[in-house]
Amino acid sequence: MEVVQLLVSGLANGCVYGLIALGFVLIYKATEQVNFAQGDFMMLGAFVCLGLTNAHYMGLPFWIAAPLAIAIMAVLGYLLDFFVLRHLFGQSQTAVVILTIALGFVIRFVAGVIWSHEPQTLESPLAIGDFNIGGVVLGMADIAVIVVTVLLTYFLYQFFQRTKLGLAMQAASQNQMAAYFMGIPVKRVQGMIWGLSGAVAAVAGILFASKGAIDPNAGLLGIKAFAAAVIGGFGSLPGALMGGLIVGVIEPFASRYFPAGYSQIAPYTLLLFVLVFRPHGLFSQVRVKKV
Protein backbone atom coordinates (compact mmCIF):
# COMPACT_ATOMS: atom_id res chain seq x y z
CA MET A 1 0.00 0.00 0.00
CA GLU A 2 2.86 2.32 0.84
CA VAL A 3 4.29 1.85 -2.63
CA VAL A 4 0.94 2.79 -4.20
CA GLN A 5 0.70 5.85 -1.98
CA LEU A 6 4.20 7.01 -2.97
CA LEU A 7 3.41 6.30 -6.61
CA VAL A 8 0.20 8.34 -6.58
CA SER A 9 1.68 11.37 -4.84
CA GLY A 10 4.69 11.12 -7.17
CA LEU A 11 2.42 11.05 -10.20
CA ALA A 12 0.56 14.17 -9.05
CA ASN A 13 3.81 16.06 -8.50
CA GLY A 14 5.17 14.71 -11.75
CA CYS A 15 2.18 16.09 -13.62
CA VAL A 16 3.01 19.61 -12.44
CA TYR A 17 6.60 19.14 -13.63
CA GLY A 18 5.21 17.74 -16.85
CA LEU A 19 2.97 20.78 -17.33
CA ILE A 20 5.89 23.19 -16.92
CA ALA A 21 7.96 20.96 -19.17
CA LEU A 22 5.16 21.17 -21.77
CA GLY A 23 5.67 24.92 -21.83
CA PHE A 24 9.41 24.45 -22.49
CA VAL A 25 8.77 21.92 -25.20
CA LEU A 26 6.08 24.01 -26.92
CA ILE A 27 8.47 26.90 -27.33
CA TYR A 28 11.36 24.64 -28.29
CA LYS A 29 9.28 22.74 -30.82
CA ALA A 30 8.08 25.87 -32.54
CA THR A 31 11.03 28.25 -32.28
CA GLU A 32 14.09 26.18 -31.24
CA GLN A 33 14.45 28.65 -28.38
CA VAL A 34 14.56 27.59 -24.76
CA ASN A 35 12.61 29.60 -22.24
CA PHE A 36 14.48 29.32 -18.95
CA ALA A 37 11.86 31.61 -17.39
CA GLN A 38 9.08 29.04 -17.82
CA GLY A 39 9.15 28.18 -14.09
CA ASP A 40 8.78 31.86 -13.29
CA PHE A 41 5.92 32.13 -15.78
CA MET A 42 4.25 29.33 -13.84
CA MET A 43 4.78 31.24 -10.60
CA LEU A 44 3.46 34.44 -12.16
CA GLY A 45 0.38 32.64 -13.49
CA ALA A 46 -0.31 31.25 -10.03
CA PHE A 47 0.06 34.68 -8.46
CA VAL A 48 -2.16 36.38 -11.05
CA CYS A 49 -4.88 33.84 -10.30
CA LEU A 50 -4.27 34.23 -6.57
CA GLY A 51 -4.50 38.00 -6.88
CA LEU A 52 -7.81 37.72 -8.68
CA THR A 53 -9.32 35.05 -6.43
CA ASN A 54 -8.21 35.59 -2.87
CA ALA A 55 -10.54 37.57 -0.64
CA HIS A 56 -8.05 40.25 0.43
CA TYR A 57 -7.07 41.05 -3.14
CA MET A 58 -9.81 41.12 -5.79
CA GLY A 59 -12.11 38.41 -4.44
CA LEU A 60 -13.46 37.15 -7.77
CA PRO A 61 -15.02 33.67 -7.94
CA PHE A 62 -12.42 31.05 -8.84
CA TRP A 63 -14.14 29.85 -12.02
CA ILE A 64 -14.02 33.39 -13.44
CA ALA A 65 -10.57 34.18 -12.11
CA ALA A 66 -8.85 31.06 -13.46
CA PRO A 67 -9.73 31.56 -17.16
CA LEU A 68 -8.98 35.26 -16.74
CA ALA A 69 -5.54 34.46 -15.33
CA ILE A 70 -4.87 32.06 -18.21
CA ALA A 71 -5.90 34.75 -20.71
CA ILE A 72 -3.74 37.37 -18.99
CA MET A 73 -0.72 35.07 -19.11
CA ALA A 74 -1.35 34.28 -22.79
CA VAL A 75 -1.42 38.00 -23.59
CA LEU A 76 1.72 38.54 -21.51
CA GLY A 77 3.49 35.77 -23.38
CA TYR A 78 2.53 37.28 -26.73
CA LEU A 79 3.59 40.78 -25.67
CA LEU A 80 6.89 39.44 -24.35
CA ASP A 81 7.63 37.94 -27.73
CA PHE A 82 6.47 41.11 -29.49
CA PHE A 83 8.53 43.55 -27.46
CA VAL A 84 11.59 41.52 -26.48
CA LEU A 85 12.22 38.23 -28.23
CA ARG A 86 11.35 39.41 -31.73
CA HIS A 87 14.36 41.70 -31.58
CA LEU A 88 16.59 38.68 -31.05
CA PHE A 89 15.46 37.18 -34.34
CA GLY A 90 18.53 35.71 -35.99
CA GLN A 91 20.72 35.70 -32.89
CA SER A 92 22.16 32.56 -31.35
CA GLN A 93 20.27 30.21 -29.03
CA THR A 94 22.61 31.12 -26.20
CA ALA A 95 21.50 34.76 -26.34
CA VAL A 96 17.90 33.64 -25.81
CA VAL A 97 18.95 31.34 -22.96
CA ILE A 98 20.72 34.17 -21.16
CA LEU A 99 17.91 36.62 -21.87
CA THR A 100 15.23 34.33 -20.44
CA ILE A 101 17.30 33.59 -17.34
CA ALA A 102 17.56 37.35 -16.77
CA LEU A 103 13.84 37.64 -17.40
CA GLY A 104 13.24 35.03 -14.70
CA PHE A 105 15.16 37.19 -12.21
CA VAL A 106 13.09 40.23 -13.16
CA ILE A 107 9.77 38.35 -12.90
CA ARG A 108 10.73 36.97 -9.49
CA PHE A 109 11.63 40.47 -8.29
CA VAL A 110 8.40 42.02 -9.59
CA ALA A 111 6.26 39.23 -8.12
CA GLY A 112 8.04 39.68 -4.78
CA VAL A 113 7.31 43.41 -4.79
CA ILE A 114 3.62 42.98 -5.70
CA TRP A 115 2.67 39.90 -3.66
CA SER A 116 5.45 39.87 -1.01
CA HIS A 117 7.77 36.99 -0.27
CA GLU A 118 5.51 35.29 2.26
CA PRO A 119 4.12 31.94 1.10
CA GLN A 120 0.40 32.25 0.30
CA THR A 121 -2.31 29.76 -0.52
CA LEU A 122 -4.78 30.03 -3.34
CA GLU A 123 -8.40 29.88 -2.15
CA SER A 124 -9.20 27.23 -4.69
CA PRO A 125 -12.31 25.03 -4.79
CA LEU A 126 -9.99 22.20 -5.82
CA ALA A 127 -8.45 22.12 -2.35
CA ILE A 128 -11.42 20.49 -0.68
CA GLY A 129 -9.75 17.74 1.21
CA ASP A 130 -8.70 14.16 0.64
CA PHE A 131 -10.31 10.94 -0.49
CA ASN A 132 -9.43 7.60 1.00
CA ILE A 133 -9.62 4.88 -1.61
CA GLY A 134 -8.67 1.51 -0.12
CA GLY A 135 -6.02 2.96 2.16
CA VAL A 136 -4.55 5.34 -0.45
CA VAL A 137 -5.05 8.99 0.46
CA LEU A 138 -5.69 11.15 -2.58
CA GLY A 139 -6.29 14.92 -2.64
CA MET A 140 -8.94 16.41 -4.94
CA ALA A 141 -6.24 18.74 -6.25
CA ASP A 142 -4.03 15.75 -7.13
CA ILE A 143 -6.81 14.18 -9.20
CA ALA A 144 -7.49 17.51 -10.93
CA VAL A 145 -3.78 17.89 -11.74
CA ILE A 146 -3.54 14.43 -13.28
CA VAL A 147 -6.73 14.75 -15.34
CA VAL A 148 -5.94 18.26 -16.64
CA THR A 149 -2.36 17.34 -17.52
CA VAL A 150 -3.30 14.26 -19.50
CA LEU A 151 -6.06 16.11 -21.38
CA LEU A 152 -3.86 19.11 -22.10
CA THR A 153 -1.00 16.96 -23.40
CA TYR A 154 -3.41 15.06 -25.63
CA PHE A 155 -4.95 18.21 -27.10
CA LEU A 156 -1.61 19.94 -27.64
CA TYR A 157 -0.26 16.80 -29.31
CA GLN A 158 -3.26 16.68 -31.64
CA PHE A 159 -2.93 20.43 -32.22
CA PHE A 160 0.63 20.01 -33.47
CA GLN A 161 -0.14 16.96 -35.59
CA ARG A 162 -3.48 17.91 -37.12
CA THR A 163 -4.20 21.63 -37.29
CA LYS A 164 -2.89 24.05 -39.89
CA LEU A 165 -1.44 26.36 -37.24
CA GLY A 166 0.32 23.50 -35.47
CA LEU A 167 1.95 22.35 -38.67
CA ALA A 168 2.91 25.94 -39.49
CA MET A 169 4.61 26.15 -36.09
CA GLN A 170 6.60 22.98 -36.75
CA ALA A 171 7.59 24.21 -40.20
CA ALA A 172 8.69 27.56 -38.81
CA SER A 173 11.05 25.82 -36.42
CA GLN A 174 12.52 23.42 -38.94
CA ASN A 175 13.53 26.02 -41.47
CA GLN A 176 12.59 29.64 -40.92
CA MET A 177 13.56 30.80 -44.38
CA ALA A 178 11.70 28.03 -46.21
CA ALA A 179 8.64 28.45 -43.98
CA TYR A 180 8.62 32.15 -44.78
CA PHE A 181 8.76 31.44 -48.50
CA MET A 182 5.83 29.05 -48.11
CA GLY A 183 3.74 31.94 -46.83
CA ILE A 184 3.90 31.28 -43.11
CA PRO A 185 4.08 34.51 -41.10
CA VAL A 186 6.99 33.19 -39.02
CA LYS A 187 7.16 36.05 -36.54
CA ARG A 188 3.44 36.04 -35.80
CA VAL A 189 3.48 32.26 -35.41
CA GLN A 190 6.28 32.61 -32.87
CA GLY A 191 4.30 35.21 -30.95
CA MET A 192 1.34 32.83 -30.83
CA ILE A 193 3.45 30.00 -29.48
CA TRP A 194 4.78 32.22 -26.70
CA GLY A 195 1.21 33.16 -25.86
CA LEU A 196 0.17 29.49 -25.85
CA SER A 197 3.06 28.56 -23.61
CA GLY A 198 2.16 31.43 -21.26
CA ALA A 199 -1.36 29.98 -21.03
CA VAL A 200 0.00 26.48 -20.30
CA ALA A 201 2.26 27.97 -17.63
CA ALA A 202 -0.76 29.65 -16.04
CA VAL A 203 -2.64 26.31 -15.96
CA ALA A 204 0.38 24.69 -14.33
CA GLY A 205 0.63 27.54 -11.84
CA ILE A 206 -3.05 27.40 -10.84
CA LEU A 207 -2.86 23.64 -10.32
CA PHE A 208 0.40 23.95 -8.39
CA ALA A 209 -1.02 26.66 -6.15
CA SER A 210 -4.10 24.47 -5.48
CA LYS A 211 -1.81 21.76 -4.13
CA GLY A 212 -0.03 23.95 -1.60
CA ALA A 213 1.43 27.32 -0.71
CA ILE A 214 3.28 29.40 -3.28
CA ASP A 215 5.95 32.10 -3.01
CA PRO A 216 8.00 34.00 -5.64
CA ASN A 217 10.82 31.47 -5.46
CA ALA A 218 8.49 28.67 -6.61
CA GLY A 219 9.76 29.45 -10.10
CA LEU A 220 12.93 27.54 -9.24
CA LEU A 221 10.78 24.45 -9.72
CA GLY A 222 11.38 25.23 -13.36
CA ILE A 223 14.86 23.70 -13.11
CA LYS A 224 13.35 20.38 -12.07
CA ALA A 225 10.82 20.64 -14.88
CA PHE A 226 13.76 21.33 -17.13
CA ALA A 227 15.35 18.08 -16.11
CA ALA A 228 12.01 16.44 -16.88
CA ALA A 229 11.85 17.95 -20.36
CA VAL A 230 15.37 16.78 -21.16
CA ILE A 231 14.85 13.28 -19.80
CA GLY A 232 11.74 12.94 -21.94
CA GLY A 233 13.40 14.49 -24.95
CA PHE A 234 13.11 18.12 -25.90
CA GLY A 235 10.76 18.54 -28.80
CA SER A 236 8.37 15.76 -27.86
CA LEU A 237 5.15 16.63 -26.02
CA PRO A 238 4.35 13.13 -24.69
CA GLY A 239 8.05 12.89 -23.85
CA ALA A 240 7.80 16.00 -21.67
CA LEU A 241 4.89 14.47 -19.75
CA MET A 242 6.73 11.15 -19.36
CA GLY A 243 9.87 12.95 -18.18
CA GLY A 244 7.83 14.88 -15.66
CA LEU A 245 6.22 11.69 -14.37
CA ILE A 246 9.61 9.95 -14.11
CA VAL A 247 11.12 12.82 -12.12
CA GLY A 248 7.99 13.13 -9.98
CA VAL A 249 7.89 9.41 -9.14
CA ILE A 250 11.63 9.12 -8.49
CA GLU A 251 11.59 11.84 -5.85
CA PRO A 252 9.29 10.28 -3.20
CA PHE A 253 10.83 6.84 -3.73
CA ALA A 254 14.37 8.20 -3.40
CA SER A 255 13.54 10.07 -0.20
CA ARG A 256 11.84 6.96 1.20
CA TYR A 257 14.44 4.33 0.35
CA PHE A 258 17.76 6.21 0.00
CA PRO A 259 19.71 7.73 2.90
CA ALA A 260 19.03 11.42 3.54
CA GLY A 261 20.82 13.79 1.21
CA TYR A 262 20.76 11.46 -1.76
CA SER A 263 17.11 12.10 -2.57
CA GLN A 264 17.58 15.67 -3.88
CA ILE A 265 20.33 14.61 -6.24
CA ALA A 266 18.41 11.66 -7.71
CA PRO A 267 16.59 13.58 -10.50
CA TYR A 268 19.76 15.41 -11.56
CA THR A 269 21.86 12.24 -11.53
CA LEU A 270 19.26 10.64 -13.77
CA LEU A 271 19.41 13.74 -15.98
CA LEU A 272 23.19 13.44 -16.31
CA PHE A 273 22.91 9.72 -17.13
CA VAL A 274 20.32 10.41 -19.81
CA LEU A 275 22.48 13.19 -21.25
CA VAL A 276 25.53 10.94 -21.36
CA PHE A 277 23.90 7.82 -22.80
CA ARG A 278 20.94 9.23 -24.76
CA PRO A 279 21.76 12.92 -25.16
CA HIS A 280 18.53 13.80 -26.87
CA GLY A 281 16.22 12.20 -24.37
CA LEU A 282 14.24 9.01 -24.17
CA PHE A 283 11.81 10.03 -26.92
CA SER A 284 14.30 11.58 -29.23
CA GLN A 285 13.62 13.01 -32.64
CA VAL A 286 17.22 13.72 -33.57
CA ARG A 287 19.21 12.30 -36.42
CA VAL A 288 22.98 12.57 -36.45
CA LYS A 289 24.28 15.82 -37.92
CA LYS A 290 26.12 15.19 -41.14
CA VAL A 291 29.27 17.05 -42.02
Partner 1 sequence: MRIHFKTSYEHDIRLFPDWWSFCVYATLIVIAVALPWLMDDFFLGEVTNVLIWAIAGLGLMLLTGQTGQASLGHAAFLALGCYSCIIFMEQGWPFLIAFPAAGILTGVVGTIIAIPAIRLHGIYLAIATIALSILADDIIVLMEPITDGVSGKFAPMINIFGIEIERWTTPDRFYWLVLAVTILCTLAYRNLLRSPLGRAMAAVRDSEVSATAMGVHIARTKAAAFGISCAITGLAGALMGFYAGAFNNETFSIVISITLLMMIVIGGLGSIHGAFFGAVVVAFLPQFLSMTKDLIGGSSVAIPGLETGVFGMILILFILFEPMGIYGRWMKIRIWFELFPFARKDMFKRQKSYLKTERLR
3 state DSSP class of 130 = strand
Site string (38-77) toward partner 1, x via CB under 8 A: ----------------------------------------
Q: Which stretch binds partner 1 (CB under 8 A): 6-14, 136-144, 191-199, 267-275?
A: 267-275
| CB of 63 or CB of 262, closer to partner 1 | 262
Whole-angstrom CA distances from 169 to 84, 115, 177, 274 are 19, 35, 13, 28
Residue from 200, 226, 250, 283 in contact with partner 1 (CB under 8 A): 226
Q: Which stretch binds partner 1 (CB under 8 A): 69-77, 110-118, 161-169, 250-258?
A: 110-118
Site string (141-180) toward partner 1, x via CB under 8 A: --------------------------------xxxxx---
Residue 173 has, within 13 A of its CA and on its CB side, a CA count of 21
Residue 119 φ/ψ, nearest 5 degrees: -65, 135
Whole-angstrom CA distances from 143 to 8, 131, 263 are 9, 10, 25
d(CA 284, CA 62): 39
CB contact at 8 A, 52 and 80: no
Residue from 234, 239, 241, 252 in contact with partner 1 (CB under 8 A): 234
- How many residues in the shown chain lie near partner 1 by CB under 8 A? 57
Interface with partner 1 includes 95 (CB under 8 A)?
yes
CB contact at 8 A, 235 and 285: yes
Residue from 51, 52, 108, 166 in contact with partner 1 (CB under 8 A): 108
Interface with partner 1 includes 94 (CB under 8 A)?
yes
Interface with partner 1 includes 23 (CB under 8 A)?
no
Interface with partner 1 includes 185 (CB under 8 A)?
no
Interface with partner 1 includes 252 (CB under 8 A)?
no
Q: Which stretch binds partner 1 (CB under 8 A): 49-57, 137-145, 203-211, 274-282?
A: 274-282
**Cα-Cα-Cα-Cα dihedral sign, residues 23, 27, 32, 36:** negative
SS (H, E, C) 62-128: HHHHHHHHHHHHHHHHHHHHHHCHHHHCCCCHHHHHHHHHHHHHHHHHHHHHHHCCCCECCCCCCCC
Q: CB of residue 195 vs partner 1: minimum separation in angstroms?
A: 20
Q: CB of residue 87 vs partner 1: minimum separation in angstroms?
A: 5
Residue 62 has, within 13 A of its CA and on its CB side, a CA count of 12
What do you get for the CA distance between the two ends of the chain, in Å?
54
Q: Tell me which residues touch partner 1 (CB under 8 A).
A: 31-32, 34, 84, 87-91, 93-95, 97-99, 101-106, 108-110, 112-113, 117, 173-177, 216, 223, 226-227, 230, 234-235, 261-262, 264-265, 268-269, 271-272, 275-276, 279-280, 285-287, 289-291
